[in-house]
Amino acid sequence: MCDSSTLADFPHDLELVSCVGFFGSRYEKVGNSLIRNSHVSLPRYHRMGVNTSLGNLFLSFLCNLTTCTLLVMSGLNITLGYFISVVVVSGFAKALVTQWRPRWNFLSEFIAAFALAACRLEVQTISEIGQWAGGLGQDVTLTMLFLALTVHGVIMQGVTGNPSVTVMGYLQKETGAVSSSLSIAGQFGGAQLALIVAGWYWAMELTDMHMIKVMMMTQCSSSLNVSLTQGTITEVVSALLFHLVDLSLHRRSQLLRIPILALLLTFLYYTGNTYTSAYVNPSLAYALTFNCPGHTFWEYAVVYWLGPLIGMTLAMLLYMGNIPLLFTKNLLFSKKSHLRLPKRKTSEEKSS
């Protein structure tokens, strides 16, 4: 471990030194990478009494400001390349499905869910590790999230990759039971494929951030940071707001609808990050947090599956006043006119 007195003896050309000795030899590979990326001769620190064993050099950045900047830009370029690859492949696959199998909507939902989950997994990596492994702060996380959601909305028009939206279409009698079931199965299948692809991508260890992500995969941090009740309420309220706005913009131009929904989802993530991350998407939550320890599968299901469904149902009732599949009577809004028209006078009344 490095104490403050030791750090005071370091030369002024070092911008950042972080000693985390308790991680031990488990992170020797990361230590090797950081040493290769630095321009500092390690023996001189041996003479200064600093323990420079590889196990104690996890995240010990011995680099000047220029080197750190280059590392950050390199990591961002790799992340952007990953995003572009996912978007191009998904967009091409959706175009093929739309052209050759237009009635197989579940395949389009599969592709949409895969693209969304694959991008959000990388955004989650930036949020969890990027700030201290690549110099990527929360502003980068929110910017990348907004761009990913916007591009996803543009490329995947007509599909959502969100099971709660599919269930809403079924409750509105817009889709049948079989079609909705296949779409939901496709959405969860796409989320599972995104987990596999992201795992392959991280295993390539193209950056230090991904190298650390691979080491932490079995001990990822859960997005559910509150009690079961608080988490469910958070998802219900978030889903209620999202679906109310979505229903309000249903007939609006896509140029207006897509960026507003992307901005809303980014805002919900920002405000709910310390609670549940406000995914409002059951298949997306399955990909991002169901594999993390700390809660059981059914606890996750109550928060991230039941919560969005309750919020979606409440949004339908508030916006439409009914649920067409269950009942047609409007419970909130009366169709009768409240304006009373004056009665016409009869011929007898006119003569008198």
Mean pLDDT to the nearest integer, 185-193: 97
Q: How far is CA 126 from CA 75, 130, 139, 151, in A?
A: 10, 4, 11, 18
* pLDDT value at residue 232: 96
Confidence of residue 217 (pLDDT cuts 50, 70, 90): confident
* Mean local confidence (pLDDT), 266-277: 94
Rounded to two decimals, what is the model's pTM?
A: 0.74
Comparing 91-95, 134-138, 182-186, 193-197, the range with the smallest average pLDDT is 134-138
What pLDDT is stored for residue 334 in this prediction? 64
Domain boundaries in the chain?
Answer: 70-320
pLDDT at 215 over 50: yes
Q: How large is the average pLDDT for residues 268-284?
A: 95
- By the 8 A CB rule, do 144 and 269 touch? no
Measured between alpha carbons, how far is 110 from 38 in angstroms, rounded to an integer? 43
- Asked if the model's pLDDT at residue 202 lies above 80, the reply is yes
Query: Where is pLDDT greater, at 276 or 67?
Result: 276
Length of the chain (residues): 352
Is the predicted pLDDT of residue 340 greater than 80, yes or no?
no
Alpha-carbon distance of 194 to 284, in angstroms, equals: 10
Tell me the two tokens of residue 308: 């969005």
Q: Do residues 156 and 107 touch, judged by C-beta distance below 8 A?
A: no
pLDDT attached to residue 248: 94
Say which residues have a Cβ less than 8 Å from residue 248's Cβ, sequence separation at least 6: 319
According to CATH, the topology of domain 70-320 is: Glycerol uptake facilitator protein (1.20.1080)
Question: Stretch 279-307: mean pLDDT, rounded?
Answer: 95
Does residue 18 have a pLDDT over 60? no
Task: Give the pLDDT score at 343.
Answer: 57
Cα 192 to chain centroid distance, Å, stands at: 14
* More confident call, 171 vs 31: 171
Q: Say if residues 304 and 292 touch (Cβ distance below 8 Å).
A: no
Residue 1 has pLDDT above 60, yes or no: no
Mean pLDDT calculated for residue range 317-324: 90
Specify the range with the lowest mean pLDDT, choosing from 121-135, 181-195, 240-254, 255-269.
Answer: 121-135
pLDDT above 70 for 336: no
Q: What percent of the chain has pLDDT over 70?
A: 72
pLDDT for position 290:
94
- Read off the pLDDT of each residue in 18-38 and give the average, rounded to a whole number: 39
Q: Using the Cα atoms of residue 151, residue 156, residue 161 and residue 166 in order, give the sign of their dihedral.
A: positive
Q: Residue 245 is encoded by which pair of tokens?
A: 């706005």
| Other Cβ atoms within 10 Å of 128 Cβ, number | 17
Q: Quick one: pLDDT band at residue 230, thresholds 50, 70, 90?
A: very high
Nearest to 166 by CA among 277, 281, 289: 281
Average pLDDT over all residues of the chain: 79
Contact 321, 333 (CB under 8 A): yes
304 pLDDT band, cuts 50/70/90, is very high
Q: What's the confidence (pLDDT) of residue 213?
A: 87
Q: Give mean pLDDT, residues 160-174.
A: 94
Angle between helices 228-248 and 307-320 (to 10 degrees): 40
CB of 186 closer than 8 Å to CB of 109: yes
